[in-house]
Amino acid sequence: MSFANQLPGVWRNTARAPLIVSHRAGGNEAPENTIAALRAAQKAGSQVMQMDVLLSEDGIPVVFHDKQLKRATGVDKPISSVPAAELPFLRERLPALLDEKIVINTRDFGAQGYTIPTLRQLLDEAGSDTHFFLEIWDDSTDLIEKTAKEIYDHGMQTRVVLGNPFSASIRDKCREAVPEALTLLLVSEANNLALLHKLGLMWVSPPPQQTVFNIPLFTGWERAFISKLSGWQKLKFQATVLMSKLLYSNLRSLTAALAEYGVPVVVFILNDKHGWEVGLKGRVAGLMTDCPAALAAYLDQ
């Protein structure tokens, strides 16, 4: 039995080109997690925006990844200690997350390129066919309930994927707050399913409905990340990469098996032709990238 027709339409047709999922709305081409990035990614043809949500000091959901403001703004404070209206501007020159040779001049994008937006402001800018991966980075009932309110106020409950790839508690709270939404499988759950598939046993413990299988696809981009680590953390991440390459060595077969359960596969963070080709060969539903315009041009060739 196939459950694919139960998915929102944007995920349904796996025969077409994969969806362009813009990581932080495309942080290699515009300032990450900003309205300017959202506009640029939508213009490029990206259908799904991965963005991050935290609470400001006065309890307003804002679009920002790090709990600390320093990397992106230069201000050494937690975001939870600053009211939304007083949040600092992004750095004038903001290095890209995975490639510090790429530096975004945030002032080139106007105020929408250096201002940390609220979730409401962001959703106000969304096109009628734009979907969101909203990742929640604090296990806070208040944050999740307020995020859910904005989603319902904008009528987007069937156009969002919610959760956190490492927290079952956050995922479960998101399911309760917005039952119509899709939620992220945990990385650990995804790995277990991949192992069951290799053993021919996925039927024993099939994936739950209304979920998205969202995994890192290590195609070389991880080297920049590993170079910043040392000691035990470095060894642990290298082991993670090795295990992942073993589990996902036949991505195309796994993608097809998950499609039978109506579960789309999204892979991240693919920013070059080699990575895109690996994802395309895997017939995944979505390619998550920091470079939505470049990926759109590549897919149009």
pLDDT tens, 112-147? 999 999 999 999 999 999 999 999 999 999 999 999
pTM: 0.95
- Distance in angstroms (rounded) separating the CA atoms of residues 246 and 177: 36
In the structure, what pLDDT confidence band is assigned to residue 256 with cuts at 50, 70 and 90?
A: very high
- Distance in angstroms (rounded) separating the CA atoms of residues 94 and 262: 39
pLDDT of res. 100 = 86
- Distance in angstroms (rounded) separating the CA atoms of residues 298 and 19: 13
Looking at per-residue pLDDT, the higher value among 16 and 162 belongs to 162
pLDDT of res. 97 = 86
Q: Considering the chain, what is the average pLDDT of its residues?
A: 94
pLDDT in tens, 65-84: 999 999 999 999 999 999 99
Question: Beta strands 182-184 and 160-163: pairing type?
Answer: parallel
H helices of 103-140, where?
A: 111-114, 119-124
pLDDT at residue 13 tops 70: no
- Distance in angstroms (rounded) separating the CA atoms of residues 43 and 205: 40
pLDDT at residue 7 tops 90: no
pLDDT at residue 102 tops 80: yes
Fold assignment, 17-299: TIM Barrel (3.20.20)
pLDDT of res. 89 = 99
Say if residue 78 is exposed, middle or buried (CB neighbours under 10 Å; 0-12, 13-18, 19+).
middle
Over pLDDT 70: what percentage of the chain? 96
pLDDT in tens, 196-216: 999 999 999 999 989 999 999
Q: Is the dihedral of CA 103, 118, 186, 263 positive or negative?
A: negative
The long-range contacts involving 144-150, CB below 8 angstroms and separated by at least 24 positions, are 144/170, 144/173, 144/174, 144/177, 145/177, 146/55, 146/59, 146/60, 146/61, 147/53, 147/61, 147/119, 147/177, 148/174, 148/177, 148/178, 150/61, 150/119, 150/120, 150/123
pLDDT of res. 51 = 97
pLDDT in tens, 143-201: 999 999 999 999 999 999 999 999 999 999 999 999 999 999 999 999 999 999 999 99
pLDDT of res. 225 = 84
pLDDT at residue 295 tops 80: yes
In the structure, what pLDDT confidence band is assigned to residue 247 with cuts at 50, 70 and 90?
A: very high
pLDDT at residue 14 tops 90: no
pLDDT of res. 2 = 56
